[in-house]
Chain A
Amino acid sequence: MVCKHEHLLDVQNLSVSFKMYDRGLVQKELKVISDLSVSVDRGEILAVVGSSGSGKSLLAHAIMGILPENAAIQGAMKYQGEDMTPEYQEKLRGRQIALVPQSVTYLDPLMRVEKQVLGAGKDAKKKIPALKGIFNRLELDESVGKQYPYQLSGGMARRVLVSTAVIGDAELVIADEPTPGMQTGQAIEALRIFRELADEGKGVLLITHDIDLALNFADKIAVFYAGTTLELASSGDFLSGEESLRHPYSKALWRAMPQNGFEPLDGFQPFSGSLPSGCLFSPRCSMCEKQCRQKIPEMRELRGGFVRCFHAT
């Protein structure tokens, strides 16, 4: 395959499944991510949106190589063109790739905040000016550095997590729901920091429910559903409205936003143990036809984006 340009991060046809005990010693495989492809380029923020439980955090953990032991991965993940083997992932994480974890419980309860943000390297001391700068921007008082995580409120802990990820020289930042609990002004500032990183030539993968906020900072939006990507669109498509979007689920997301109609969609995301045989969205889709129930559509290019639907025009 001839590549015109190399992605910073390239995930192709990723599947993740968990081995679980069913009854007694009988094991079963639970597929939680199937045939998922995303890529992040330098200078770009890719926002990942979609329903809760659609595998967004699992994608982040798969890239970092921190999935639990009973997880099995298939497909290809490449960082700067190189296959991400477990050894390579170990070398990358924390250095080239930084994670803003979704849960504030990732902070070490026994370590002062400052130490956690600066990290353990030889040059930790050199980062102190940078730490002051970031704390200031995120409205964290300098005294927060001397505190322990239990002394922080939810929103403060999140801001500390963001500082931890952006203070290093990581080339790729993966932010898993970085903003809930933050006030709007602080959330905007956090996203602005991500934007600046991207503008410096780094890459950012931003996982979020807050489509509204993400749209103003991201370049591209990937829409996830039941463990796969249904659409890849530019943020402009989301901003200009329903007609510019391609997949029926993305359109439904757009219509469900409080400012755009607040319209719910009947039905629920299928449980990963009982996925439909065809298109994963088909049980809730108004355009569903026979072929949708039989075959999972391939991702195809459409109007400058990508969509996984037979009918999208």
Chain B
Amino acid sequence: MRLEAKNISFKYSSNGKSILKDVSMHIDEGERVGIVGPSGYGKSTLAKLMAGYLTPMSGSVLLDGKPLRGKGVCPVQLIYQHPEKAINPRWKMGRVLEESGFMNEELLSRLGIEKQWLTRFPRELSGGELQRFCVARSLFEGTRFLIADEMSTMLDVITQAQLWNVVLNEAEKRNMGLIVVTHNQHLAERVCTRIIDLSLINNEVHSQSEIAEVCL
């Protein structure tokens, strides 16, 4: 199975600056691809496009040669950087998990999700605890590709290693494809089989001051 971005371009407002221009990339199942590049270069935008949260202005995102279906559960799942923004604040955590049809006790315990957290509201949990739920619900049976957008930046290194360990393990077991967006070079080298520098495949030229950042 292959997830593919074909010549996609995107801008947030019709008269605004273009973020991505004519970008193409692909990932096969079982692959772990890192996406690096300075902020403002469209890493998160690319992640959202590939997961179907945004629609490209031109070009297409294809899963096995076909566009992503708008209905039902999506086989491409995205984990956001800010879990507090990705969870319904009015739902208790148990309901958040049930929505994805996912209640694998064994995985929950490996992620360290305590039973008593299920009856709490999102605001009663810390960022690290919420992110465990986001990982759990994205790992339901139908997931074939997982996109982790700065999944572990606000976590301490032990929690970071715990989460990644579970994700890498599941990805391998199910032969999932993994896209890893990160600023952390060490992390990218550690988890990825291949690393793409977005500034090299993006045909939108960003301004000089931004390019200077790349050299740092």
Please give the residue numbers on chain A whose beta carbons come within 8 Å of chain B beta carbons, in ascending order. 49-53, 139, 155, 180-181, 183-185, 188, 209, 211-212, 252-253, 256-259, 262-265, 267-268
Contact = CB atoms under 8 A, between A and B. Distances in A.
A215 to B, nearest CB: 12
A264 B216 contact: no
Contacts of A267: 112
Contact of B157 (A155, A211, A268): A211
B216 A184 contact: yes
Interface residues of B, number: 29
B105 to A, nearest CB: 17
A262 B159 contact: no
Contacts of A49: 156
Nearest to B165: A264
A292 B75 CA distance: 47
Contact of B186 (A52, A155, A259): A259
A51 B156 contact: yes
Given A258-B184, A258-B190, A52 B161 contact: no
B155 A256 contact: no
Contact of A259 (B112, B114, B155, B190): B190
Contact of B187 (A252, A258, A263): A258
B148 to A, nearest CB: 14
Contact of B155 (A183, A188, A209, A212): A209
Nearest to B38: A183
A263 B164 CA distance: 10
A263 B64 CA distance: 35
Contact of A185 (B155, B164, B213): B213
Interface centre among A53, A212, A258, A259 (most CB of B within 10 A): A258
A52 B162 contact: no
A267 B128 CA distance: 14
A49 B157 CA distance: 10
Nearest to A155: B39
B213 A263 contact: no
A209 B213 CA distance: 23
B160 interface: yes
B183 interface: yes
B126 interface: yes
Interface string B141-162: 0000000000001111111111
A266 to B, nearest CB: 8
B187 A180 contact: no
A209 B189 contact: no
Contacts of B155: 52, 209
A51 B159 contact: yes
B101 interface: no
Nearest to B164: A262
A184 B183 contact: yes
Given A184-B216, A212-B186, A259-B186, A51 B158 contact: yes
Contacts of B162: 264-265
Contacts of A258: 157, 160-161, 184, 186-187, 189-191
B127 interface: yes
A305 to B, nearest CB: 20
Interface in B160-192: 160-162, 164-165, 183-184, 186-187, 189-191
Nearest to A257: B157
Contacts of B187: 258
Contacts of A50: 156
A183 B160 contact: no
Given A183-B216, A257-B157, A267-B112, 18 more contacts: A49-B156, A50-B156, A155-B39, A184-B183, A209-B154, A256-B158, A256-B161, A257-B186, A258-B157, A258-B189, A259-B186, A259-B189, A262-B161, A262-B164, A264-B162, A264-B164, A265-B161, A268-B112
